[in-house]
């Protein structure tokens, strides 16, 4: 089916919350995808930091196929080997600590963390939660209560949860908001949906100290940043600011829907039987996919590749001299090309026309979150094309 026909049928069949996506993808291999009309693109989005191993990786295909043939679903009434192995592997990556809850998405992982925080708070006389302005923690009502992006938060409130927002990266403002009445602090190591915005150096270490001093839980939302995206298994490792609760998703399943909430130390005992659950969470096929992702990242040295190729990508962007380009920020293979004005939608379209898929995550920022297998040559193919992409965006702006 051709792309124009697919888009027309999509528009008629789906709710309008996404609009109609501009490209109908049909297949992928490595870091490349092809649309329904046969046109190829270098995928620098990876399903929003999801397709860690790229497209069609043999390890993922083998794991998913074998598990689907053996046992595809059990519910939470029964256990199975892949979920146990996955929980144990996550514990290994966390130095042997943690209790795991497996969910289906990032927002569900954050819902689990929120329920943990609420139960912890009620047991200890703590009444409010602190989060960051411009943060993003998910679209369900609990996760949305934690989300500091007003445009998506306000239409669906009030939420019935006392969440207080502070400027991201401001340790003094955080310290003023976190006291003995605070149950938890929810923060992203870098704000992804805000435009891949990192905090100042030392911020996460300061968060750890503030939570230690007050007894508030430190919840690190690593939905986008973990599983090698920044060149480490977890972004908190860069400052050794170990959280009390960690949420994961996106890159963990390599394209299969899975999320995890891991409570560390004594906090792994907060929930009692019946406090939380999920019919599909820990699904055998998705757990097998996650195990394959973790094993392949280690086997193929993809943490190092993310760090090294990420530097190639960042250096290539920084070397571009163009009036629309202000700079680059981020870490590993999680970057934003920062623009001088609201040119990102036009630049995204121009990149697509040039054969590159990027994401206008903010009006002035293009998000790049490619597969962890991206090569230096592939990164350089994009940075080499960036001047002409920005020229096309500038021309489109003049025409409009």
- As annotated, the binding site for pyridoxal 5'-phosphate includes 106-107, 136, 221-224, 279
Asked if 131 and 146 touch (Cβ cutoff 8 Å), the reply is yes
Q: Judge whether 250 counts as a catalytic residue.
A: yes
Q: Is the dihedral of CA 306, 307, 312, 314 positive or negative?
A: positive
Q: Judge whether 398 counts as a catalytic residue.
A: no
Known binding positions for N(2)-acetyl-L-ornithine: 139, 278
Long-range pairs for 317-323: beta carbons < 8 A, 24 or more residues apart:
317/383, 317/386, 319/383, 320/383, 320/386, 320/387, 320/390, 322/386, 322/387, 322/390, 322/391, 323/394
How far apart (Å, rounded) are the C-alpha atoms in residues 82 and 123? 34
Asked if 262 and 99 touch (Cβ cutoff 8 Å), the reply is yes
How far apart (Å, rounded) are the C-alpha atoms in residues 375 and 382? 11
Query: Which residue out of 35, 204, 218, 221 is catalytically annotated?
Result: 221
Q: Token pair of 268, please?
A: 């792994």
Per-residue CA distances from 120 to 145, 271, 294 (Å)? 18, 9, 31
Angle at 275 between CA 152 and CA 254, to 5 degrees: 55
In the block, residue with structure tokens 């430190």: 218
Query: Which residue out of 101, 244, 250, 271 is catalytically annotated?
Result: 250
Query: With 0-12 CB in 10 A as exposed, 13-18 as middle and 19+ as buried, what is 7?
Result: middle
Query: Which residue out of 136, 165, 186, 382 is catalytically annotated?
Result: 136
Q: Judge whether 136 counts as a catalytic residue.
A: yes
Known binding positions: 106-107, 136, 139, 221-224, 278-279
The total number of residues written for the chain in this structure = 400
Bridge partners (DSSP) of residue 260 are 102, 248
Q: With residue 163 as reference, give the H or E element that holds it.
A: strand 163-166
How far apart (Å, rounded) are the C-alpha atoms in residues 73 and 80? 9
Of 294, 231, 282, 228, residue with least CA distance to 257: 282
How far apart (Å, rounded) are the C-alpha atoms in residues 16 and 12? 9
How far apart (Å, rounded) are the C-alpha atoms in residues 187 and 221? 6
Positions marked active-site: 136, 221, 250
């Amino acid at each position: 089916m051709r792309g124009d026909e697919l888009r027309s049928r999509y528009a008629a069949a789906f709710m309008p919350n996404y609009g109609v996506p501009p490209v109908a993808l049909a297949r992928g291999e490595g870091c490349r995808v092809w649309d329904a009309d046969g046109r190829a693109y270098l995928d620098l989005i990876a399903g929003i930091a999801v397709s860690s191993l790229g497209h069609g990786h043999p390890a993922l295909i083998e794991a998913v196929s074998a598990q689907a043939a053996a046992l595809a679903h059990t519910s939470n009434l029964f256990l199975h080997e892949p979920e146990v192995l996955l929980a144990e592997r996550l514990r290994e990556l966390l130095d042997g600590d943690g209790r795991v809850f497996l969910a289906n998405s990032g927002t569900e992982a954050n819902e689990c963390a929120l329920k943990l925080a609420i139960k912890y708070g009620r047991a200890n006389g703590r009444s409010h939660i602190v989060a960051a302005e411009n943060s993003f923690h998910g679209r369900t009502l609990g996760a949305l209560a934690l989300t500091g992006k007003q445009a998506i938060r306000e239409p669906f409130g009030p939420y019935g949860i006392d969440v207080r927002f502070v400027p991201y990266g401001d340790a003094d403002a955080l310290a003023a908001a976190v006291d003995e009445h605070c149950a938890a602090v929810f923060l992203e190591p870098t704000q992804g949906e805000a435009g891949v915005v990192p905090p100042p150096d030392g911020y996460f270490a300061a968060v750890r100290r503030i939570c230690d001093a007050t007894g508030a839980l430190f919840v690190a939302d690593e939905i986008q940043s973990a599983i090698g995206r920044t060149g480490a298994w977890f972004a908190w490792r860069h400052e050794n600011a170990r959280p009390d609760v960690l949420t994961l998703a996106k890159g963990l399943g390599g394209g299969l829907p899975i999320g995890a909430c891991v409570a560390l130390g004594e906090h792994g005992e907060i929930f009692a039987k019946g406090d939380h659950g999920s019919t599909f969470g820990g699904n055998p096929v998705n757990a097998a996919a996650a195990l394959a992702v973790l094993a392949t990242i280690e086997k193929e040295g993809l943490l190092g590749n993310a760090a090294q190729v990420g530097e190639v990508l960042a250096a290539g962007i920084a070397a571009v001299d163009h009036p629309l380009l202000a700079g680059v920020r981020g870490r590993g293979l999680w970057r934003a090309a920062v623009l001088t004005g609201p040119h990102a939608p036009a630049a995204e379209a121009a990149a697509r026309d040039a054969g590159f898929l990027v994401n206008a995550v903010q009006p002035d920022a293009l998000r790049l979150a490619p597969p962890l297998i991206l090569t230096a040559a592939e990164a350089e193919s994009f940075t080499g094309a960036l001047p002409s992409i920005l020229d096309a965006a500038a021309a489109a702006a003049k025409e409009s």
